Structure 1
Amino acid sequence: MLDAQGVSSLYKAQVRPVMEYVTLTWSSCPPSYLTGLERVQARAQRLVRVCTRGHAPDTFQPLQHRRDVAGLCVMFKGQALHTPHLATLRFPGPPAPTQATRSAENSEHPHTVAVPFSRTEHNIRSFLPRYSRLWNQMVLSTDLHRSTSLHIFKCRANEWLADQQ
C-alpha cells in the first residue's frame, strides 16, 4: 500500500502530466470540462488525506493556477525572450488614447500588449485574449516582465498569481 508521499508522487508523475498536456488549449474549454479535471485532482487530494489520516495540507496547486502560469510563461517567451517560433505573439502595444482620461493615462505602459477583440464567450477564454489581459495586469502591477530568465519569471509569476487569489 502507498503512503501519502507515494500517492502524491504517483499523481504528480503519472496523472497530472496527462491532464496538463497542451494546457493552453484547455483554457478555452467550457467550465464544465475543466470541472471534470478538477474533480480528478480533488480525488487524488482526498487519497493523500486518507493516507495521512487527515493531517496532510493541501499539497496540489489548482489546475487553473498552473494553466495561468504556463500561459504567462508562453507570453514571456514571446514578448521578452523573442523566441522565434512565438513571433506571432509579439503584439503591438495598445493604441494611444484619443482622450485624456485617468484610465487612459494609467494604461500607457511600454510592455503592455493589445488585447484582441472577442465577441463570444468561447473566444474570450481562448489563449490570446485571456493571457493578453493577464499579461497586462501583471505588467501594470509588477516588474516580472523584466526577469532575466524563464525560471526566475516562472517562480515569480507563480507567487504573483498565488497572491492574486
Structure 2
Amino acid sequence: MDYACLEWGGAANKHLALLDKVQGRAVRLNRDSGAGHEPRPHSLQHRRDVPGHTVMYKVHQQWVSHLQTLRQPLRRARITTRVIALAPTELLQPRCRTWHPQRQFVYVYVGWWIALLAYAATPWR
C-alpha cells in the first residue's frame, strides 16, 4: 500500500469521486446499522496523500534505490534571498501545461514537499 499513490496519481477525478461516494455510502450504512459510535474514517484523498508524502520522504531523505527515478533535482537560485536561505533544499518542480500531467505523482507531491519543507523552516513556528 505504500506505493499505491503512484497508481492513483493519474486517475480521473470522476473515478475518484465515485470511490468517495462508495466510501460515503459505507459510512452511512455503518452509522444507520446502530453499531454504536464509530470514529470517522479518514477520507480516501487523505489515504492517498499520506503514502505520497511517505514516498517523497523515502526518495529524498532515505535514498531508497528503486524509487530514485522519481527524484527531482534541487532548484538553483539565481539570487540568494532570505526565503531561499530558509529553504535550501527546495526541489525543481516540473512544468506542465496540460491537465493530465498536473494530476501525476511527481508534479503534485513535489509541490507539497516544497510546502512542507518551507513550513518546517519557518522561524516563527
**TM-score of the pair, normalised by structure 1:** 0.64
Flag the 1:21–1:34 CA change in 2: closer, same or farther, 3 A: farther
Q: Indicate which of 52, 59, 63 corresponds to 2:34.
A: 52
Larger helix proportion of the pair = 1
> Residues 122-141 of structure 1: matches in 2 within 5 Å?
122-141=100-119
Q: Which AA in structure 2 matches 1:96?
A: A
| Long gaps (5+) in structure 1 | 1-16, 144-165
RMSD: 2.4
Question: How far has the Cα of 1:107 moved from its partner?
Answer: 4.2
Structure 1 CA distance for aligned equivalents of residues 3 and 111 of structure 2: 23
| 2:59 aligned counterpart, secondary structure | helix
Shift of 1:56: 3.2
The match for 1:112 is: 90
Give the structure-2-normalised TM-score: 0.82
Residue 76 (structure 1) aligned to one of 36, 57, 74: 57
2:23: which partner in 1?
A: 41
- 72-81 vs 88-97, greater mean Cα deviation: 88-97
CA–CA distance in structure 1, aligned partners of residues 106 and 66 of structure 2: 15
Following superposition of structure 1 onto structure 2, how do residues 1-165 of structure 1 map, counting pairs within 5 Å? 22-52=4-34, 56=37, 59-98=40-79, 105-108=82-85, 109-142=87-120
Q: Which stretches of structure 1, 4 residues or more, deviate above 4 A after TM superposition?
A: none
| Structure 2 CA distance for aligned equivalents of residues 50 and 107 of structure 1 | 52
**Count of residues in correspondence between the two structures:** 120
Note if contact 1:24-1:67 (Cα within 8 Å) is conserved in structure 2: no
Q: Which runs of 5+ in 2 are unaligned?
A: none
